[in-house]
Amino acid sequence: MRGWKPSQDRQYADYVFLCGVMWAQYASEDAARELVRALSSEDPDVAFLASALLEKTVRLRLASGLSRTPETADRRYGVQILT
């Protein structure tokens, strides 16, 4: 998951979705980094997708009481995730 350079919007949206899956299921820091990067995408749909995936993961992890939450992305990458 290193430095994806989108060649087509659809492929990038699919990639962002898969990063969301990796972040939600496995707490992959690389996937979180890609989601945070996608927040500033020129494509508003991709930015919204990344935001929704990050928000959903925070809500799920907080509800289940898991200790390693995506809120670490908030501190590590300087992005505020609103819940």
**pTM value?**
0.64
Question: What is the tens place of the pLDDT at every residue in 24-64?
Answer: 888 888 999 999 999 999 999 999 999 999 887 766 555 56
Instruction: Please calculate the CA angle 19-20-26 and round it to the nearest 5 degrees.
Output: 85
In whole angstroms, what is the distance from residue 83 CA to residue 81 CA?
7
* CB distance 9 to 46 below 8 Å: yes
CB 63 within 8 A of CB 70: no
Q: How far apart are alpha carbons 71 and 74 in whole angstroms? A: 5
pLDDT bucket at 15, cuts 50 / 70 / 90: very high
